[in-house]
Amino acid sequence: MSEKTAPTETVPVIPHFVHGERREGASGRHSDVYHPATGSVAGRVPLASAEEIDAALASAEEGFAAWSALNPQRRGRILLRWVDLINENMDELATVLAQEHGKTFPDAKGDIQRGIEVVEFAAGAPHLLKGEFTADAGTGIDVHSIRQPLGVAVGITPFNFPAMIPLWKAGIALAAGNAFVLKPSERDPSVPVRLAELALEAGMPAGALNVVHGDKAAVDALIEDPRVKAVGFVGSTPIAQSIYAHAGRMGKRAQCFGGAKNHAVIMPDADLEMTADALVGAAFGSAGERCMAISVAVPVGAETADRLIALLRERVKDLRVGPSLEASSDFGPVVSKDAKERIEGYIAAGVEAGAELVEDGRGVVVEGHEDGFYVGATLFDRVTPEMSIYREEIFGPVLSVVRAKDYEEALTLVNEHEFGNGVAIFTRDGDAARDFSTRVDTGMVGVNVPIPVPIAYYTFGGWKASGFGDLNQHGTDGLKFYTKTKTVTTRWPSGVREGASFVMPAGS
C-alpha cells in the first residue's frame, strides 16, 4: 500500500460518507486502491485526520438522537427497505466488490447476500428487544427490565468481506437503535460507501451510518473517543487482541475476531469424492482469503490419506485462476502485491521445511493480466505441526494435508492449535460426528459441511486466539452486545404509611 500527499487528477477519490454526504477528505493523506486482476491503481482513499474523525462522531451523536427516537418497528421497516435497495443494486455492488477485492463476481454476490441476510434478521429486533416484567415481586412492588441502545458504536472491518461483515455489524447495531461509524478496509472501500448511501436513501437519518477511511491513527482516535461506547473488529489476531485490550482500558465494550487455521478431519468412512470436492471449494474459493477457509485437511489413516491426495491432485491441477469478472475463473487474484509475496514466501518455507509439494501455485501468469496479483492453487502433503505453513494463517490458496494415525490424534491436532475459529468433520458415522462436535475446541463446527458459517439467526464467532470477547457476531448475541439492560423497580403509594425502614428490602 502506498501513501501519497494528494490524489492525482486521473485517479478517482473514494470518499468518506459523513452526515449523509460524500466528503473527499482534508487530511492530505491518501492510500492507493488497486484492481488486483491487473495490478493497476483504481483509485485513492483519503486517510481521515483527527478532525475528520471528530466530525464523523459528532454526526453520529446527532444521528443517534434521531434514529433511537424511532420505535423498533419503524427502524425495522427502514432496514428492510435498505435490503430492497441493496438487492436492486446487487450487480453494481458485486462488480465493484469483485474489481477491488479480486473475488469472482458470483462470490462477490454471495458476500453481499450473506450480509443482507443478517440485516433481514435484524429487522425482527422488536421481538428480540423486549424486556421482562414481574408483577408483585414484593408487596405492592413490580419489576421490569428494558433494553436500550448504547449510543455510538464503531465497526472496524477487513478487506476479505467488504460487504458482509460491515452489514453484519451495522445491521444489528442499527436495529438496536445505535448510530454506527464504519471504518472499512482501505484496500476495497467503495462498496461500504455505497451501502451507506443506500441506507440514507432507505430512510435512515443523516449520521445514523457514517463511513470513514483511515489507518491506525483513525482507529486509535475512534477507540479513545469517549463518545464511542462499543467497538467491533475483524482482522488479524495480534490487532484483534490489541484493540480488545485498548477498548477495555477505555471502558468500552469490544468484540474482536482474529485469525484462523480451520481444519477438516476426514474419517475413513467418509465419501471421499464428495469430501474432495468440498475441500477444493473451501480451500481455494476466494483465493483462500476467507476467515472460514479450510487450510488444513487431516485424513485419518494412511489409506484415507493416499486416496484423498489422489482425488485432490486431479481436482487442483484443473483449477483456473483468472480475472475476477471472467466467468471461466474458479477464483481470482489475491488482494495485493504484498499478499502475493507473503503467500509465495510461505510456500517456499513449506518446501524448505520438508513438506511434499504436490501442486505449486507460484509463478502464475494470466495472459493479458501479467501484472495481476495471482497465486495458483497449492497443495502440500505430509505437513507436520511444527512447520510454519501449519502453525500460521497464510490467508491464501494453500491447502496443507496433515496425516493422523487415528481419530484421537486428529482431534488433538485441532484442539492444540492456537486458533479455534471453525472446523469440519467428514464422516458417515453419527456417533463420531457427535463426539467430535462435543469435544472439539472451536466456535463453529461443520459435519460434512466444509465452511460452517452459521445462518443469520445463529451467532458467528471463534474461540481461543480467534476471538476476544464474550459475545459473538449477529444472532441474539449481537443484540445483547449492542444494548444495555436497565431494571426498574416500581411501587405506587397506597395511602398506607409505614415510616422509614432501615432494613435491606427482601424480595418477598
Task: Find out whether 231 and 222 touch, Cβ atoms under 8 Å.
Answer: yes
Query: Which segments of 123-177 does DSSP mark as H helices, in order?
Result: 125-128, 164-175
pLDDT of residue 4: 46
pLDDT band, very low/low/confident/very high, at 29 (cuts 50, 70, 90)? very high
pLDDT of residue 244: 96
pLDDT band, very low/low/confident/very high, at 9 (cuts 50, 70, 90)? low
Residue 43 pLDDT exceeds 80: yes
| Arithmetic mean of pLDDT over the chain | 95
pLDDT of residue 140: 87
pLDDT of residue 472: 86
CA torsion 87→92→93→98, rounded to 10°? 130
pLDDT of residue 7: 46
Q: How far, in Å, CA of 140 to CA of 276, rounded?
A: 66
Residue 210 pLDDT exceeds 90: yes
pLDDT of residue 473: 85
Decide: helix, strand or coil at residue 347: helix
Q: How far, in Å, CA of 181 to CA of 274, rounded?
A: 43
Mean pLDDT, rounded, for 317-331: 96
pLDDT of residue 191: 98
Residue 508 pLDDT exceeds 70: no
Report pLDDT digits (tens) over 344-402: 999 999 999 999 999 999 999 999 999 999 999 999 999 999 999 999 999 999 999 99
Mention every residue, 6+ apart, whose C-beta is less than 8 A from residue 189: 14, 33, 45, 100, 162, 211, 213
Highest averaged pLDDT of the listed ranges 23-37, 332-346, 483-497? 332-346
HSE of 485 in the Cβ direction (CA atoms, 13 Å)?
13
pLDDT of residue 276: 98
Q: How far, in Å, CA of 112 to CA of 94, rounded?
A: 7
pLDDT of residue 439: 98
Mean pLDDT, rounded, for 424-428: 98
Which structural domains are found in the chain, ordered by start? Answer: 16-258+466-489 (3.40.605.10), 262-447 (3.40.309.10)
pLDDT of residue 217: 94
pLDDT band, very low/low/confident/very high, at 6 (cuts 50, 70, 90)? very low
pLDDT of residue 5: 42
Q: What percent of the chain has pLDDT over 90?
A: 90
Lowest mean per-residue pLDDT among 86-90, 323-327, 407-411, 468-472: 468-472
pLDDT band, very low/low/confident/very high, at 139 (cuts 50, 70, 90)? confident
pLDDT of residue 507: 62
Query: Which segments of 189-271 does DSSP mark as H helices, in order?
Result: 190-202, 216-224, 237-249
Find the helix or strand (DSSP H, E) in which 62 lies: helix 50-68
Residues 439-449, buried b or exposed e (16+ Cβ, 10 A)?
ebebbbbbeeb
Report pLDDT digits (tens) over 213-230: 999 999 999 999 999 999
Mean pLDDT, rounded, for 105-128: 96
pLDDT of residue 374: 98
Lowest mean per-residue pLDDT among 137-146, 181-190, 230-239: 137-146
Residues 313-349, buried b or exposed e (16+ Cβ, 10 A)?
eebbeebebbbbeeeebbbbbbbbbebbeebbebbee
Residue 2 pLDDT exceeds 80: no
Catalytic residue annotation: 291
Say if pTM beats, i.e. exceeds, 0.85.
yes
